[in-house]
Amino acid sequence: MHDTKPEITISFGPCLPIAAMGLLLSGCVGRQSALAPAGHDAEQISNLFWVMTAGASIIWALVLGTALAATLGLFKNPTRLTPNILIVGGGVVFPTVILGILLIFGLRLLPNWQSEPDRLQIHVHGEQWWWRVVYRAPDQIEPVISANEIHLPAGQAVEFVLTSADVIHSFWIPSIGGKLDMIPGRTTRLLLEATRPGVYRGVCAEYCGTSHAKMAFAVVVHEPKDFNAWLEDRTSDPNIGTDDPGRKIFLSSGCAACHRIRGLTEIGSVGPDLSHIGSRRTIGAGIAENTPKNLARWITDPAHMKPAVQMPAYRALPPEDIAAIARFLSNLN
């Protein structure tokens, strides 16, 4: 009789570390990584990280080597003074010198800047769970109001003026720079300079409630002349089809109580500005791609896509009406 056990052996041995490495490394590239810098501050932070990592690895190897050497009795002719030398040298002198050097290195990276009147300012106001964005350029008469997407010129320092409507949020674009808290009742300021055109992703980095993890935004870095053209374009009304059926339903459904569309309805300010919503990459603060289908899903039942959202569901509206509003919003450019 022979053994009836199946002879199939599956070995995950080599796959696991490879998969783990892949997962780990995939976090280091892409549009939301502090280790793939596309901004002046992010570069400094990334350098600091690598210097610290290298230093820590060397010290780790030294300590382990010493411990190993001691265990194996490799110290030749130890005297009664050897432990004291090790403790004073390795426990007092070495950390004081190394931590001193690292402190000076770190302090040199602290930002040192003052508000300058001729800088582009972007006010970002954290809300549960989205971002109000207002652009104020020095020679611009009227501020440009937007939401949930930030456009920046490359190679130009921009002053972010950060505030919060409700709880503490934290504003962070890992690829471009460090993060800063948005604190109710206070204004915090951050100077960021993007260096590489591209599309990045910003997030809220401080737990701020149920949908904290659904509070992101796209960051689009342009060449300076393209940025100026973009901003100029945003100072005018979007193209609104006068006989668009969605426009009428938008106005008659009460959306305008909370949302502004430049040149159509200016009263609503509870929710995000929808003036140029058609040109935004995502909806609902980075949670879904901006397509007419997703817009219709959002309007029908936003809480289904973002728990505890502060917008009512419109399940009572006929699906054709919702589709018409979605088409109307998609065309607002």
Contact residues for ligand HEC, defined by CB under 6 A:
129-130, 147-148, 250, 253-255, 257-259, 270-272, 277, 283-285, 295, 298-299, 306, 309-312, 314, 325, 329
If one asks whether residue 169 binds Cu ion (CB under 5 A), the answer comes out as yes
Q: How far is the CB of 170 from ligand HEC (least distance, A)?
A: 16
Binds 169, which of Cu ion, ligand HEC, none (CB < 5 to 8 A, cut-off by type)? Cu ion
Q: Which of residues 200-229 bind Cu ion (CB under 5 A)?
A: 204, 208, 215
Q: How far is the CB of 193 from ligand HEC (least distance, A)?
A: 26
Q: How far is the CB of 190 from ligand HEC (least distance, A)?
A: 22
Q: Which is nearer to ligand HEC, 205 or 255 (CB)?
A: 255
Binds 208, which of ligand HEC, Cu ion, none (CB < 5 to 8 A, cut-off by type)? Cu ion
Q: In this structure, what is the dihedral angle of CA atoms 24, 30, 35, 40, given to the nearest 10 degrees?
A: -170
Q: How far is the CB of 122 from Cu ion (least distance, A)?
A: 17
Q: Is 230 exposed, middle or buried (0-12, 13-18, 19+ CB in 10 A)?
A: middle
CB-based contacts of 230-237 (< 8 A; 24+ apart in sequence): 230/151, 231/135, 231/137, 231/140, 231/144, 231/151, 234/135, 234/144, 234/146, 234/275, 234/276, 235/140, 235/142, 235/144, 237/262, 237/263, 237/264, 237/275
Q: How far is the CB of 182 from ligand HEC (least distance, A)?
A: 15
Q: Which is nearer to ligand HEC, 119 or 248 (CB)?
A: 248
Q: Which is nearer to ligand HEC, 238 or 284 (CB)?
A: 284
Structure tokens at 8: 């199939």
Alpha-carbon distance 272 to 260, whole Å? 8
Alpha-carbon distance 96 to 103, whole Å? 10
Alpha-carbon distance 51 to 300, whole Å? 51
CA-nearest of 191, 185, 146 to 173 is 191
Q: Which is nearer to ligand HEC, 148 or 170 (CB)?
A: 148
Per the CB < 8 A criterion, the answer to whether 212 and 283 are in contact is no
Per the CB < 8 A criterion, the answer to whether 264 and 247 are in contact is yes
Q: Which is nearer to ligand HEC, 222 or 306 (CB)?
A: 306
Binds 328, which of ligand HEC, Cu ion, none (CB < 5 to 8 A, cut-off by type)? none
Q: How far is the CB of 274 from Cu ion (least distance, A)?
A: 21
Q: How far is the CB of 214 from Cu ion (least distance, A)?
A: 10
Q: Which is nearer to ligand HEC, 55 or 209 (CB)?
A: 209
Neighbour-count burial for 252-289, b at 16+ CB within 10 Å, e otherwise: ebebbebbbbbebbeebeebbbbbbbbbbebbbbbbbe
Binds 325, which of ligand HEC, Cu ion, none (CB < 5 to 8 A, cut-off by type)? ligand HEC
DSSP element (H, E) containing 282: strand 282-283
Q: Which is nearer to ligand HEC, 169 or 259 (CB)?
A: 259
Alpha-carbon distance 38 to 46, whole Å? 11
Binds 323, which of ligand HEC, Cu ion, none (CB < 5 to 8 A, cut-off by type)? none
**Residues of this chain that bind Cu ion (CB under 5 A):** 169, 204, 208, 215
